[in-house]
Amino acid sequence: MQVTAERVREATNSIWMDVAEVRRQEPLPHDTRTEICVVGAGIAGLSAAYHLAREGKKVVLLDDGPVGGGQTERTSAHLSNAIDDRYIEIERIHGEVGSRMAAESHTAAIERIELIVKDESIDCEFNRLSGYLFLGEGDTLDLLEREREAAHRAGLTDVEFVHRAPMSDFNTGRCLRFPRQAQFHPLKYLRGLAEAFERLGGLIQTTSHVAKIDGGLVETDGGSRVNADVVIVATNTPVNDLVAIHTKQAPYQTYVIAAPIPHGNIDPALYWDTLHAYHYIRLEHRESGDHVMIGGEDHKVGQTTDQAERWGRLEAWALERFPKMGAVDFRWSGQVMETTDGLAFIGRNPGDKENVFIATGDSGMGMTHGTIAGMLLTDLIMGRKNPWSDIYDPFRKPVWGMAWKNFLAENANVALEYAKDWLGSGDVSSVEEIGWGEGAVVRRGLTKVAVFRDGRGHAHELSAICPHLGCIVHWNRAEKTWDCPCHGSRFDPEGRVICGPANTPLKEA
């Protein structure tokens, strides 16, 4: 995921960022010729770069932040083949063969991570463990029965019912156990993967913001260019696309808390409930003891004002189930790209030149989807057939049924946000109403201005118009960012890009 080199970090730090800073490499110093140029040094970009380097390809990896400095450092790091949208829905949309391919590819991604950890001697706390899917409030056992049957048809025949998940103070009731899931420390893994990539002759250039991609020509803000046979754009959401992919996926913000918990209160495992904006749980062992992570409370990026309260709701939900949990000491959020049919887009970029590939649409499973991207893109670029290519093909259209309904609903939501924000008044009527350290949108005639008052009370005024497609940004009080409610672009208080698809800052007002 690309981020600006001098960016002001979002207001929160994840549990990973606290202990594993990934080193920065130098910016691209001059024009370079290479076989492969990868843009974005998160798990998808680095996985692709590593696999292609192992094939003997000359690879240059660019990012305008540190390795893993985007959404990868904000994951909860579940490594799972229990699909985020459930096998019931994947089978309904993609058919039984597609569902089987989805299960096979995510299973293979976990196995590939395990193999890389072993081959490259990466100390990243990789552990195999079980995953447990339990009922959310109001859901019935029939839902788990149907999910087990769909998982079995997808080839996961060892998914089974158990009486309860292994948590001493929280009786989940009957739930499904998915064996041979895994977890790891994502930044430690990326640090080791980056070192392995460099040992293979790969070149990593950070603090190198990519301003333009035209076929095999990649231009940076600093003026240096990479001329490549093949370009892979792995920036969480493509920064080289204006419309094509962005109509088929939508940005959601998800929230996570972490708090100490006595050893043995929860068995090491992955846990999920069946709610629509589901809760997800795992343990992380730190020197000070076990920490439990609980996530959920998802919403469309830029479309709520209660961001901070969502952490509070997660904490209340957790304390009801884990009364021995200590005070929360980490709170953070991450951005998830939800596709209309539950699976990522990995392959040639629609409407682009034949040598431009993308990896996007993590759909809540970024660690495995990112690893699948590395494996699949390598096969495509090397001219090998891959059985997963069709289900992840970025050219695929929403099929009739639920995926088509999701497509229509998400794009109708974008149109509504666009009209509502342009026609409506500002958040406040004057700059004086904005508190120090806060931001708000002010209407000025026919346009709108995004105003941030810093810790000294000085007002920084920017155009509130997102440079991607012209939606009006909203202030995110929890993360201190300007968020676009249409396609998920995010900017720091001074207007610099944190998340695409926008690839330029907010303009001065």
Identify the CATH number of the domain in which residue 463 sits. 2.102.10.10
Which residue has tokens 């730090």? 13
Task: Return the structure tokens found at 4.
Answer: 């600006």
The answer to whether residues 469 and 486 touch, using CB atoms and an 8 Å cutoff, is yes
Model's pTM, two decimal places? 0.94
pLDDT per 10-residue tile (average), the chain, 509 residues = 38 81 75 97 97 98 91 94 95 96 98 98 97 96 98 98 96 97 97 96 93 94 94 95 88 96 94 94 89 96 91 96 95 94 96 95 95 98 97 86 70 77 85 91 93 91 95 94 94 93 93
* 338, part of any domain: no
* 442, part of any domain: yes
| 45: phi then psi, degrees, rounded to nearest 5 | -65, -45
Handedness of CA 157, 159, 161, 166 (dihedral sign): positive
Which range of residues forms the domain containing residue 434?
424-499
Residue 415: name the closest of 473, 363, 487, 466 by CA. 487
Per-residue pLDDT at 2: 37
* 244, part of any domain: no
Count of structural domains within the chain = 1
Upstream peptide bond of 166 is cis (omega within 30 degrees of 0): no
What per-residue string of b and e applies to 474-485 under the rule 16 or more CB within 10 Å gives b?
Answer: bbbbbbbbbbbb
Per-residue pLDDT at 424: 84
* 462, part of any domain: yes
The answer to whether residues 45 and 38 touch, using CB atoms and an 8 Å cutoff, is yes
What per-residue string of b and e applies to 269-280 under the rule 16 or more CB within 10 Å gives b?
Answer: bbbbbbeeebbb
> How many other C-beta atoms can be found within 10 angstroms of the C-beta atom of residue 85?
19
* 439, part of any domain: yes
* 458, part of any domain: yes
Coil, strand or helix at 175: strand
Strand pairing partners for 358?
Answer: 233, 347
* 470, part of any domain: yes
Per-residue pLDDT at 9: 46
C-alpha 72/C-alpha 69 separation (Å) is 7
Residue 11: name the closest of 293, 308, 296, 252 by CA. 308
Q: What is the DSSP letter of 402?
A: H
Per-residue pLDDT at 162: 98
Per-residue pLDDT at 287: 79
The answer to whether residues 438 and 446 touch, using CB atoms and an 8 Å cutoff, is no
The answer to whether residues 39 and 181 touch, using CB atoms and an 8 Å cutoff, is no
Residue 320: name the closest of 298, 299, 294 by CA. 294
**In whole angstroms, what separates CA 248 from the centre of its chain?**
16
The answer to whether residues 65 and 5 touch, using CB atoms and an 8 Å cutoff, is yes
Classify residue 195 as exposed, middle or buried by CB count within 10 Å of its CB (0-12, 13-18, 19+). Answer: middle
Q: Are strands 225-233 and 356-360 parallel, antiparallel or unpaired?
A: parallel
One-letter amino acid for residue 291 of the chain: H
C-alpha 149/C-alpha 73 separation (Å) is 34
Per-residue pLDDT at 23: 63
Q: What is the DSSP letter of 465?
A: B
C-alpha 304/C-alpha 224 separation (Å) is 40
Per-residue pLDDT at 403: 65
The answer to whether residues 86 and 151 touch, using CB atoms and an 8 Å cutoff, is no
Classify residue 364 as exposed, middle or buried by CB count within 10 Å of its CB (0-12, 13-18, 19+). Answer: buried
CB proximity list for 309: less than 8 A, separation 6 or greater: none
> Which residue stretches of 21-171 are H helix?
43-54, 86-119, 141-153
Angle at 140 between CA 136 and CA 142, to 5 degrees: 130
Per-residue pLDDT at 131: 98
* 445, part of any domain: yes
CB proximity list for 356: less than 8 A, separation 6 or greater: 213, 215, 230, 231, 233, 240, 348, 349
For 42-85, the DSSP string reads: SHHHHHHHHHHHHTT--EEEE-SS-TTTTGGGG---EE-SS-TT
